[in-house]
Amino acid sequence: MGNVAMSSKNSAKGIIEILLQPLGITINGNEPYDLQVYDENFYGRVLEQGALGLGESYMEKWWDCKRLDMLFDKILKANLDEKTNIPLRFKLKQVLSRIINLQTLARAKLVAKKHYDLGNDLFHAMLDARMIYSCGYWKDAKNLDDAQTYKLDLICKKLNLKPGMRLLDIGCGWGGLAKYAAENYGVNVVGVTISEKQYTYASKYCKNLPVTIRLQDYREINEKFDRIVSVGMFEHVGHLNYGTFMKTVHHALADKGLFLLHTIGVNQFYMLPNAWISKYIFPNGNLPTISQISSASEKLFIVEDWHNFGAYYDNTLMAWHENFIHHWPSLSSKYDEQFFRMWVYYLLSCAGGFRARSLQLWQILFSKGGIEGVYHAPR
């Protein structure tokens, strides 16, 4: 099916209905994934603005859907986002993003202020007991807390942590991994974050442990570590900085050391991310492809293991959504209804994206100089 554009012969509503019909989605239908449209301007706005118009019109109550996760699963499996013309202004932004570094040292803190510093109360209500804000490992887990504990232990095992080792955690969040590694594997940890609220929380959370939390950008690291880990941070590095990131890690990693990268990834490169996600959730975020990661790392590291468990992000996001809904009454005095709809849209649209396998979650283990013999990867 070729690109669908506005024409005098087809109304905006007619075009949307034509696009949705093969997916079994009906406007104002009875299925949980059907759209309930309350404002007729919705159709033209979506055709004109794409993902941004779809998300903003949901926030403004122009439309609704009982199961956004199911809706986005269907839409993304059908590559529906590729079947509408991209407005010229977004094409111009794509051209600029090839040459303008949106994740410079000066710009990097924008995502911390916009997202991670929203309020520890929000993340405490939504996440597990350790406040781990990344994909859980659900292989044997029955609940979110177990899935995150299994994920932390999987990381520590993959890194082959030993007592007395020095571990660097790039993008340490609220300190969950740092504390777990120090308590259970006897390592000394340095965690770095650019979020002031994460820094304050993690410093207290890891008190009286061999853990140091720093308010620091990864580009400012200049010392040696036996092991390095980065969980859920590479998504904010930006494609123009992948080489700098890998060189920084290589310089900081001891010879024969191990580096584990835990990151969301995409099947093909998009110069700009989803416009709605970029505006409201993760400013200047950019998801990597396999080829981009390999290109940035190929002269520096040996890939010992590449593990994809992106399907588990669906479980994780649905658990976060359940927690968010459950705790909304205690959050509603601080966050308004538009924020509520924005956050629900974020969690459920992303769940649909992982369910559709449009998004991946990779844990990649690199070695500096190679591991002797065969690396038997924990699963």
pLDDT digits 0-9 by tens, 163-203? 999 999 999 999 999 999 999 999 999 999 999 999 999 99
Is 350 noted as a catalytic residue in this protein?
yes
Asked whether residue 103 carries a pLDDT value surpassing 70, the answer given is: no
Instruction: Give 212-243 pLDDT, tens digit per residue.
Output: 999 999 999 999 999 999 999 999 998 899 99
Residue 239 CB contacts under 8 Å (≥ 6 apart), including other chains: 269, 286, 288, 292
- Arithmetic mean of pLDDT over the chain: 90
Confidence of residue 115 (pLDDT cuts 50, 70, 90): confident
Predicted pLDDT of residue 1 = 36
pLDDT at 8: 34
- What digits encode the pLDDT tens for the residues 289-338? 999 999 999 999 999 999 999 999 999 999 999 999 999 999 999 999 99
Look at residue 263 and give its three-state secondary structure: strand
Report the pLDDT value the prediction gives residue 242, as an integer from 0 to 100: 95
What percent of the chain stands above pLDDT 70?
Answer: 87
In contact, 258 and 367? CB cutoff 8 Å: yes
**Residue 162 — very low, low, confident or very high, per pLDDT cuts 50/70/90?**
very high
Whole-number pLDDT of residue 59 = 98
- Predicted confidence (pLDDT) at residue 250 exceeds the cutoff of 90: yes
Question: What pLDDT, on the 0 to 100 scale, is given for residue 108?
Answer: 56
Residue in 65, 156, 206, 350 annotated catalytic = 350
Specify the pLDDT at position 366. Answer: 98
pLDDT band of residue 284 (cuts 50, 70, 90) is confident
- 154 token code pair: 């999987």
Which phi and psi angles does 165 have, rounded to 5°?
-65, 155
pLDDT at residue 272 is higher than 60: no
Asked whether the predicted pLDDT for residue 6 surpasses 50, the reply is no
- Whether 98 shows a pLDDT value over 60: the answer reads no
- Give the Cα separation of 233 and 237 in Å (integer): 7
- pLDDT tens-digit series, residues 23-37: 999 999 999 999 999
Q: List own/partner pairs for 200-203 with CB under 8 A and 24 or more apart.
A: 201/120, 201/131, 201/174, 201/175, 202/172, 202/173, 202/174, 202/175, 202/178, 203/175
What was the pLDDT predicted at 81? 64
CB 180 within 8 A of CB 207: no
Three-state SS at 296: helix
pLDDT digits (tens, 9 = 90+) for 325-376: 999 999 999 999 999 999 999 999 999 999 999 999 999 999 999 999 899 9
Q: What is the pLDDT of residues 44-69, one digit of tens each?
A: 999 888 899 999 999 999 999 999 99
- With a cut of 80, say whether residue 2 has pLDDT above it: no
pLDDT at 5 over 50: no
Residue closest to 236 by CA, chosen among 92, 109, 365, 133: 109
88 vs 356, which has greater pLDDT?
356
Note the maximum CA span of the chain.
71
Higher-confidence position of 346 and 113: 346
**Residue found under tokens 């890690």:** 249
- Identify the residue with better confidence: 283 or 219: 219
Give pLDDT, residue 273.
Answer: 66
Q: Return the pLDDT at 102.
A: 52
Give the 3-state secondary structure percentages of the chain, helix then strand then coil, rounded to 5.
Answer: 45, 15, 40
